[in-house]
């Protein structure tokens, strides 16, 4: 067996727990360091997971940690505003990077990071953990098999009243930038398409505990003449959807609804000629109940397996930038109150 990949984890906030659990359990990975702006935060995370600090570097200075630990991989678990600095430092130090979403805080930074990854010959990928929900993978397979014909419309609702506290409470475009990236990426993944244009409206509803806009609706024009409608809110109390949104997908031969968890219903046209068509409900496999805290582990395993085999990870940056472009195009549309092209080369 080859030596495990040496991993330096940067950013020891709450989300880092979902990264550390599978990292410490993996035979393919060796944790060599924890870095956070607050050394005490890194120390607390180490204590929580019984990490031997005599063997694992703990500190607040990234450059020192990179030089001391010489990692093969950096896990970037920092806030979005720090992604560029951490990722570029890691790539320059010769490490592969798996980063929390979004890939970058601007499109310009995303392009620079992708260019640097190519220059250094290292892999840069994004933690789109919700792609590793067993249910979404099963739904994608059904759609790809043509069960409801050619897809024409895809709708997603995301309504959760999340009282995070911390940086999100004052973050600009908090819903679109922090959470909608998951749903935008899922829409692309489900039907293997890309966005071409968007009209988005963003607002902060009465009663919101966020300082800035926490609700949004967006209409995306996708390739193959598909329309993707997104409706969402971070400050919607009660009747929550799942964290993976609630979906309605319409095709030329029927429709599919999925609650983002295990609830799946499909109607397929079985007869026409009347006022309403006749429908049958095909036998479909039961969706697997899955603990969402495991999906980070699935994504990490897939990333590491790809590195070990010399393959490109599913969520590599050159693909993920198309999901990021949907985010920034939606923001630009909301600011301009106009339809905006989703162009990875011109968006800022």
The predicted-structure confidence for 269-325, as pLDDT tens digits, reads as follows 999 999 999 999 998 888 877 777 788 999 999 999 999 999 999 999 999 999 999
For residues 99 and 83, the answer to whether their CB atoms sit within 8 Å is yes
> What average pLDDT score do residues 113-135 get?
96
- At residue 348, the pLDDT reads 78
Q: Which residue has the tokens 């409470």?
A: 169
Burial class of residue 201 (count of CB atoms within 10 Å of its CB; 0-12, 13-18, 19+): middle
DSSP 236-256: --SS---TT-EEEEEETTEEE
- Give the Cα separation of 34 and 58 in Å (integer): 5
Q: pTM of this prediction?
A: 0.93
For residue 1, pLDDT beyond 60: no
Using alpha carbons only, give the angle 204, 208, 212 rounded to the nearest 5 degrees: 45
- At residue 285, the pLDDT reads 83
> What average pLDDT score do residues 231-235 get?
97
Which tens digits make up the pLDDT trace of 176-217?
A: 988 999 999 999 999 999 999 999 999 999 999 999 999 999
């Amino acid at each position: 067996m080859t030596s495990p990949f040496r991993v330096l984890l940067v950013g020891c906030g709450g989300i880092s727990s979902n990264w550390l659990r599978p990292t410490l359990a993996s035979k393919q990975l060796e944790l060599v360091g924890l870095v956070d702006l607050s050394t005490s935060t890194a120390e607390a995370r180490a204590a929580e997971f019984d990490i031997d600090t005599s063997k694992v570097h703990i500190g607040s200075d990234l450059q020192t940690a990179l030089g001391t630990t010489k990692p093969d991989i950096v896990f970037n678990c920092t806030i979005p505003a720090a992604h560029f600095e951490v990722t570029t430092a890691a790539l320059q130090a010769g490490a592969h990077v798996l980063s929390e979403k979004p890939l970058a805080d601007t499109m310009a930074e995303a392009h620079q990071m992708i260019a640097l990854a190519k220059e250094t010959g290292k892999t840069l990928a994004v933690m789109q953990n919700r792609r590793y929900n067993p249910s979404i993978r099963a739904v994608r397979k059904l759609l790809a098999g043509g069960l409801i014909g050619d897809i024409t419309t895809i709708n997603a609702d995301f309504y959760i009243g999340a009282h995070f506290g911390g940086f999100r409470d004052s973050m600009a475009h908090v819903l679109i930038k922090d959470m909608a990236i998951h749903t935008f990426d899922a829409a692309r993944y489900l039907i293997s398409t890309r966005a071409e244009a968007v009209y988005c409206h963003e607002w902060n509803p009465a009663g919101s505990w966020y300082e800035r806009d926490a609700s949004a609706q967006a209409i995306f024009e996708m390739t193959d003449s598909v329309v993707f409608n997104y409706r969402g809110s971070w400050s919607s109390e009660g009747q929550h959807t799942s964290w993976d949104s609630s979906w309605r997908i319409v095709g030329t031969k029927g429709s599919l609804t999925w609650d983002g968890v295990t609830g799946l219903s499909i109607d397929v046209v079985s007869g026409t000629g009347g006022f309403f068509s006749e429908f049958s409900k095909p036998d479909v496999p039961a969706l697997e109940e899955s603990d969402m805290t495991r999906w980070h582990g699935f994504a990490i395993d897939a990333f590491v397996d790809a590195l070990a085999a010399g393959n490109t990870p599913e969520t590599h940056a050159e693909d993920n930038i198309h999901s990021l472009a949907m985010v920034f195009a939606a923001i630009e549309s909301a600011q301009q109150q106009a339809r905006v092209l989703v162009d990875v080369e011109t968006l800022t």
